[in-house]
Copies of this chain bind each other. A is one copy, B any other.
Amino acid sequence: MRDPALIESNDADEEDIGALDGIVGFHIRLAHGAVYRHFTETFADLGLTQKQVSVLWLVGDHPEIAQIEVGSRLRMDRATTMTIVNRLEERGLLRRERSSSDGRKQAMFLTEEGEAVLEEAKRCIESHESWLKSRFSEAEIEKLVEMLARIHD
Contact = CB atoms under 8 A, between A and B. Distances in A.
Interface of A: 1-2, 10-12, 15-20, 23-36, 39, 50, 54, 57-58, 61-65, 72-75, 100-101, 125, 128-129, 132-133, 135-136, 140-141, 143-145, 147-152
A17 B58 contact: yes
A128 to B, nearest CB: 6
A72 B151 CA distance: 28
A46 to B, nearest CB: 15
A82 to B, nearest CB: 17
Contacts of A2: 100-101
Contacts of A23: 125, 129
A33 B64 contact: no
